Amino acid sequence: MQKFVSFQKKIVIDINCDLAEGGNEDAEIMPHISSCNIACGGHFGNRATIEEAVRLAKKHQVKVGAHPSYPDRENFGRQKMKMQSQNLQDSLLKQIQLVIDSCDKNDVDFHHIKAHGALYNAMENDTDLCELFFDVLQKIDRKVVVFISPKSKLKHYKSPEIIYWIEGFGDRTYQADLSLTKRSESDALLTNPKAVFKQILNQKEGFVRSQNNDKIEQKFDTICLHSDTPNALGILRFVIQNLEVSTNK
């Protein structure tokens, strides 16, 4: 039994959230989402935090995914790193395996992978990095969903074992080319619950509005709300209260 969120037109929304990143509201957030992306040691986390998150996800029937990043705790994985390819690949495999091991231990299905921060963004332009990440996915040797941005070049790397879900962001603003506004900009985040709710409805109708109010056509398979956005729990509660909660059996 898996939770989803739907509204009047019965359009299913998969709401995902990056968790186990040191926030103190994970337990309150988890019941309201359908997918969680668990930090696994690159930008944050360890075996204990992963285990806690997996058990919490199991309790609330939330799909579990790994959220690997550049091994860069100092910058929370939000700066692109120059690394030897083998070292980065080894790090990513180790991070993902920690979540897989915890899922196996707790009898939970391992569902997806979502790269974090600079690693996620870099795959919009860096084909060498996409090839490296694709190699990592193939070495996992199991069917997996991968959350990617609409601009990601990773989607061009095909395998019968890999399903790509295009991800939108309910609490981030967009530029006209569908890129996210840089976090260094003052208007990068949406923190007004009504604005987030409106953006989610737009995304599930198949478009987003840029900062210049351009309408950009784009279909999304999953929508992220960040746990570290100011008032994240309040925003999430507002969104859920204004949507009809349903269960997909």
Contact 1, 109 (CB under 8 A): no
Mean pLDDT, all residues of the chain: 92
Q: What is the mean pLDDT of residues 15-22?
A: 96
Q: What is the pLDDT of residues 145-160, one digit of tens each?
A: 999 999 999 999 999 9
Q: What is the pLDDT of residues 175-223, one digit of tens each?
A: 999 999 998 899 999 999 999 999 999 999 999 999 999 999 999 999 9
Q: What is the mean pLDDT of residues 236-242?
A: 89
CATH fold, domain 2-172+220-248, is TIM Barrel (3.20.20)
Between 33 and 244, where is the model more confident?
33
Contact 201, 7 (CB under 8 A): yes
User: d(Cα 102, Cα 113) in Å, to the nearest integer?
Assistant: 14
pLDDT number for residue 241: 85
User: d(Cα 101, Cα 171) in Å, to the nearest integer?
Assistant: 31
**Structure-token match 């570290």, residue found:** 228
Between 249 and 210, where is the model more confident?
210
pLDDT number for residue 6: 44
pLDDT number for residue 145: 98
